[in-house]
Chain A
Amino acid sequence: DQQVKQNSPSLSVQEGRISILNCDYTNSMFDYFLWYKKYPAEGPTFLISISSIKDKNEDGRFTVFLNKSAKHLSLHIVPSQPGDSAVYFCAASARGPGAGSYQLTFGKGTKLSVIP
């Protein structure tokens, strides 16, 4: 029972174009969402997050959009660069009253390849 789903295992994008990575979730208790980037043999690196009270958060080339009614979020990278090639994980947590740990529930990841 996957609560966070990344349905595209891989994505290829031309350098300079926009990369759009998608994520769907099923647990309505999730109220905080994060994107992590992972290179081989390294731990995940935090990229950007968004609280459920917002529908957009932007940081440089990275923008995360949240559609709560659709339980969907997406990460936009523009312009894409070859150094962005990595596996991107979507993660979610529930921080409301009564929540236990702020454990993250992760998707399986999307491997992004940016072609020069």
Chain B
Amino acid sequence: GAGVSQSPSNKVTEKGKDVELRCDPISGHTALYWYRQSLGQGLEFLIYFQGNSAPDKSGLPSDRFSAERTGGSVSTLTIQRTQQEDSAVYLCASSSVRIAGTETQYFGPGTRLLVL
């Protein structure tokens, strides 16, 4: 596709349930990022994938959060045992290889997660 796509666009779940969020990056982009935006806040970095390298998980807020990227393309962010504070918009971004001037990140529309 032309841009980054994410699914579902909206997700309502009950506290304690697991959720999976999906991201399809721009074709050919080797870098993929997950961010989240809580109400009234800026975007907060969660995790980064670059090619076949080990992911940078330094932004994950707890061990309930995990992500994987299969085949260097599609990524899934999983939140286990969701809590109300996990309610946020989860945004995925992708960028080209790490060459100066080409690393601009392009964002998907986000998944709005509401934990009741």
Contact = CB atoms under 8 A, between A and B. Distances in A.
Interface of A: 4, 6, 32, 34, 36, 41-46, 49, 51, 89, 91, 93, 95, 100-109
Interface string B76-110: 00000000000000010101001011011111111
Contacts of A104: 33, 35, 43, 45, 105
Interface in B12-66: 31, 33, 35, 40-45, 48, 50, 56, 58-59
Contacts of B100: 51, 95
Interface of B: 4, 6, 31, 33, 35, 40-45, 48, 50, 56, 58-59, 91, 93, 95, 98, 100-101, 103-110
A43 B40 contact: no
Contacts, number: 69
B38 to A, nearest CB: 10
A101 B50 contact: yes
A49 B100 CA distance: 12
Contacts of B6: 43
B104 A49 contact: yes
Contact of A103 (B41, B56, B106): B56
Given A108-B41, A108-B42, A43 B4 contact: yes
